[in-house]
Structures are given as structure tokens and as C-alpha cells.
Amino acid sequence: MEKRYSRESRCYKTSRVFPPDVNNHNTLFGGKLMAYIDDIASIAATKHCRRPVVTASTDSVDFLHPIRPSDSVSLESFVTWTGRTSVEVFVKVIKEDLLSGERTVAATSFLTFVALDENRKPIPVPDVIPESEEELKLFETAPGRAEMRKRRRDESKRFAGFLSVNQPWD
Ligand SMILES: CC(C)(COP(=O)(O)OP(=O)(O)OC[C@H]1O[C@@H](n2cnc3c(N)ncnc32)[C@H](O)[C@@H]1OP(=O)(O)O)[C@@H](O)C(=O)NCCC(=O)NCCS
């Protein structure tokens, strides 16, 4: 199967922080940032697979620094690693104080997407080729993260089997 470079899936998005986007601390609402992350990551995954994809999981989103209305928020995403039918996407969130120009990595996240065929079944994806130092580092460390996800998924399935689906009014 055809291989694709990490750079071929790379996406960028920059936004302002408007009043409807902030929480009661007057910083960017975490849910808003998570929606931006899923959005840009799904574009990178689709560009790599050139197939419909679904989010299989989002690893923890680490909110490292608050993002304020005086900042711009820029997201960058690209495919870092591929399994058989899944791809790992890294998202880096950079805030920039628009008056001073100071930039900070405000959040990072890894997400996994699965490519689907016409019957919505998982289908093999092209391998990814890392090139830059950042891409190579993320590629080399990916099997460890995939292994952790597999363990977490098995635990989540066991846990879901234990949970009740009853509603309080049943
Ligand atoms: C993700 C989904 C397609 C996987 O389907 P499945 O029949 O369980 O498929 P498999 O067990 O064969 O797994 C397929 C691939 O997904 C990966 N995968 C499945 N669940 C995963 C998870 N929670 N985290 C990371 N990878 C996962 C598997 O490791 C496998 O990868 P590989 O082929 O590269 O080795 C299915 O669980 C699904 O549709 N989930 C809902 C997705 C959704 O609705 N997302 C939107 C968010 S609301």
C-alpha cells in the first residue's frame, strides 16, 4: 500500500478567543479547546487515509497554560504513527500573546482514528513516513503509547460491562 509523509497530513488553525468561548475565569473554555482539537485531528487523519475516519480515543488533553482573550490560539496536527487500521494524530496548541508576541505551548494531545470502509468496518491505512526531528521522536515513542491504549481499552470494556444502564426513573 502507498505510504504518506507526516507532512502530507499536517494542518494548522488559528483563532481569537471571543467572549462566548471563555469560562468563568475568563480563559478559553476547555470544552471549546477539545472541540478544536478533535476537529483539526480528524482533518489530519482523513488527509492521511483519504477515507472516512472515526475518533476511537483521545488520550488525556494536558492543559498546560490558560489561554486568555488577549492571546491567539493556534493548533497544529499531523499523523505520527499508523497501526493496521488506525492512525495516531498529535495535536500541539500554541498560544500567542498578541501584544508581546510571546508564544507558549498551552496544550498537547494524542488521538487515535480508525479508517472505515463502505460498510463502516475498519480498513487498512497507508503507513506514515516521519521526517523532521519532532516527527521522528513522536514516531519512535508511539508503540509505547499504543500499548498503553490497548491496555486502557481492555480495562474500559471490562468496566463498561460492570456498569448499569438503568435510568433513575426505570
Ligand atoms: C473505533 C471502532 C471503529 C473500532 O471498531 P472495532 O470493531 O472495535 O475494531 P477493532 O477492534 O478491529 O479495532 C480497529 C482498530 O482500532 C483500534 N482501536 C479500537 N479502539 C481503540 C481505542 N479505544 N483506542 C485506540 N485504538 C483503538 C484498534 O487498536 C485497531 O487498530 P489497528 O488496526 O491499527 O491495530 C469502534 O469501536 C467504533 O465505531 N467506536 C465508536 C467511534 C465513534 O463513534 N467515535 C465518535 C466519538 S462520539
Distance (Å, whole) CA 90 – CA 35 = 15
Q: Tell whether 119 is covered by a domain.
A: yes
Ligand 1 within 6 A of CB of 34: no
- The contacts of residue 45 (CB under 8 Å, 6+ apart) are 9, 53, 79, 87, 89, 111, 113, 115
Which SS3 state, helix, strand or coil, does residue 156 take?
A: helix
Tell me how many domains the chain contains: 1
CB atoms within 10 A of CB 110: 21
Residue 167 has pLDDT above 90, yes or no: yes
Q: Tell whether 166 is covered by a domain.
A: no
Measured in Å, residue 159 CA sits from the centre of ligand 1 at 17
Average pLDDT, the chain: 96
Measured in Å, residue 67 CA sits from the centre of ligand 1 at 32
Q: Looking at residue 152, which CATH number applies to its domain?
A: 3.10.129.10
Average pLDDT over residues 5-13: 98
Q: What confidence score (pLDDT) does residue 87 get? A: 98
Q: Tell whether 170 is covered by a domain.
A: no
Q: What confidence score (pLDDT) does residue 62 get? A: 85
Q: Residue 107 — very low, low, confident or very high, per pLDDT cuts 50/70/90?
A: very high
Q: What confidence score (pLDDT) does residue 60 get? A: 82
Q: Residue 100 — very low, low, confident or very high, per pLDDT cuts 50/70/90?
A: very high
Q: Tell whether 98 is covered by a domain.
A: yes
Chain segment 50-71, per-residue pLDDT in tens: 999 999 999 988 889 999 999 9
Average pLDDT over residues 72-94: 98
Distance (Å, whole) CA 155 – CA 161 = 10
Q: Tell whether 41 is covered by a domain.
A: yes
Q: Tell whether 152 is covered by a domain.
A: yes
Q: Tell whether 17 is covered by a domain.
A: yes
Residue 1 has pLDDT above 90, yes or no: no
Q: Tell whether 133 is covered by a domain.
A: yes
State which residues form the domain around 63: 4-160
Measured in Å, residue 1 CA sits from the centre of ligand 1 at 21
Ligand 1: atom nearest CA of 56 is 1
- The contacts of residue 161 (CB under 8 Å, 6+ apart) are none
